[in-house]
Structure 1
């Protein structure tokens, strides 16, 4: 006759098989994930720095030889052919890329402040910034933003096309008064003065609900237009306060800032009372939704039009971090914003904090 054996589970076994229930496990998981991401970033940064250093040296050698030997284009073409024969498994030695290396050295050897930055982003990103941006501070902006927010190549193209340099520097926010010094610069540059939603198929006359539905239907394009570091949390996000319900048009989460971002959509002109409503939403989010390890929630009031002085007065005494921006849904010629930018000294101070 078989006898049954009663197995006694050790308390530690339950903790092993059900780690999610263990006290402190979420913190452990978050710490390990952060460490892995840090290592991945460090490895990628090391590769980028080595590649940028290699291309810098090749560009320098070409420039020096051209000056001393009077070489023409034919020598660069020959160099490309010989390098590809010598290193058949290594890409990047086309004649065109060698000319890019030459330009890379020439342009940045005259800008020592930018030299450490070029090694921290990919070569394709460097080429985009080199070819599309001619102003030194504009290049510094896109170099630092790509590094800080991890923009992909497509996101970088979109940001340059939509004049993020100018629109970020012109942004109307109260972040200098409502956020810690560690977050101010990042937040200011993460919230632009105007957003281009030219991927939407909406007529000039549309409702706020139609705009919201259209943005959700093209959520990937929408998040790219917002800057590429946002995660979608929900639309008509419900907040219950006492016995009443309130709904935020769109709720996002900024991964680098580690902050909830509430967006209110307005199809008309900015009105001062919009700020009071947003302050209420942010207070409720911070009290009910924000996690302990997250930063204060941020609000963006997105309007079709705004008067800058009215926005300035409306934000002056607010205690919650809020930005007011406009949106455009039609393909229009870029606005001439250069003459509205802060002074070069003010831009330099802002970029240094990134």
Structure 2
């Protein structure tokens, strides 16, 4: 009997999904066993730490002789294993088993034992960060900016749980746009230009789940035209996110304008499947007390954060420095 085409395609799809999931579980299981092995080897090395560097180098040579095809047991790798076992207990090792060894070595190099390191491990698991992404987040101090920052928002009052918690967790302060070079007198549209030229890095800094919708996004309200600086959609929050960029210190009137934009986006773009639209004011600086007062009676969910650009020499100062040609002539 010939199978119905729909039944065949459905069966094929299910089998392919089962195979893919099984392969993924096998990879994760193998990775977990390797991480636990490295931790146990590190524990042995810690028991003999009094013998120093030469001890590890000799072990690495003999292990390669005993297992010629084995990888990952160079003297340098074994030093990381020792550090791993000395700084991570068996319980935390189980959490680390869910990320690759290369990620763990970055964490051992770039973070100290404690809450910050544990936060980065969990964030890597939740967001699926690559090694490069993890390193970037550590170097830009994401833990301090996202987990520890004194964030200013009205999310708790204007959004239901757990949406409010997710929005608050997504907020950073400050945002680091180190791919944009600052200069004296720069205006918002110039910063926006650089953001659009580096959209991938912009989305990385904004965080997981952001999708770009448009720049200077047109909204027609009544008989007037309005333009949102940057419009995103966050898949995890299931919300439009309106970003207003201000190359100045925060002013209370900024919140009123953003509140208007959020009302317009909710009426014109939001569907029954979307949650409340969220606003984000990015300012050069802010007074937290003033920002909190400004948001106190605002009915739409919004947060206020600062942003940082890459530093450059003061305007005109570069002209005083010798050029490459001048330096070469003097050599």
The separation in 1 between residues aligned to 2:18 and 2:153, in whole angstroms, is 33
Q: What residue in structure 2 maps to residue 99 of structure 1? A: 79
Matched-pair contact (CA < 8 Å) for 2:182–2:311: no
The structure 2 residue matched to 1:57, chosen from 35, 40, 45, is 40
- From the superposition, tell whether residues 319 and 134 of structure 1 become closer, same or farther in structure 2 (CA, over 3 Å): same
- From the superposition, tell whether residues 86 and 279 of structure 1 become closer, same or farther in structure 2 (CA, over 3 Å): farther
Normalised TM-score (structure 1):
0.74
Deviation for aligned residue 1:86: 4.7
The answer as to 2:289 corresponding to 1:309 is yes
The answer as to 2:63 corresponding to 1:83 is yes
- From the superposition, tell whether residues 126 and 202 of structure 1 become closer, same or farther in structure 2 (CA, over 3 Å): same
The structure 2 residue matched to 1:126, chosen from 71, 80, 104, is 104
The separation in 2 between residues aligned to 1:269 and 1:198, in whole angstroms, is 19
Deviation for aligned residue 1:35: 9.7
Deviation for aligned residue 1:181: 3.0
- From the superposition, tell whether residues 172 and 221 of structure 1 become closer, same or farther in structure 2 (CA, over 3 Å): same
Pairing of 1:278-317 with structure 2 (within 5 A): 278-317=258-297
Q: What residue in structure 2 maps to residue 136 of structure 1? A: 114
Pairing of 1:211-230 with structure 2 (within 5 A): 211-227=191-207, 229-230=209-210
The separation in 2 between residues aligned to 1:178 and 1:89, in whole angstroms, is 59
Q: How many residues align?
A: 303
Q: What residue in structure 2 maps to residue 159 of structure 1? A: 137
The separation in 1 between residues aligned to 2:212 and 2:171, in whole angstroms, is 16
- From the superposition, tell whether residues 41 and 236 of structure 1 become closer, same or farther in structure 2 (CA, over 3 Å): farther
The separation in 2 between residues aligned to 1:214 and 1:151, in whole angstroms, is 24
Pairing of 1:264-283 with structure 2 (within 5 A): 264-283=244-263
Normalised TM-score (structure 2):
0.78
Unpaired runs of 5+ residues, structure 2, are 313-331
- From the superposition, tell whether residues 310 and 158 of structure 1 become closer, same or farther in structure 2 (CA, over 3 Å): same
Matched-pair contact (CA < 8 Å) for 1:151–1:228: no
Moved more, 273-282 or 39-48: 39-48
- From the superposition, tell whether residues 133 and 81 of structure 1 become closer, same or farther in structure 2 (CA, over 3 Å): same
- From the superposition, tell whether residues 77 and 299 of structure 1 become closer, same or farther in structure 2 (CA, over 3 Å): same
- Once the two structures are superposed, residues 251-298 of structure 1 have per-residue CA deviations (whole angstroms, 9 ceiling, x without a partner) of 223344343322111011111122222223233333433454444332
Q: What residue in structure 1 maps to residue 178 of structure 2? A: 198
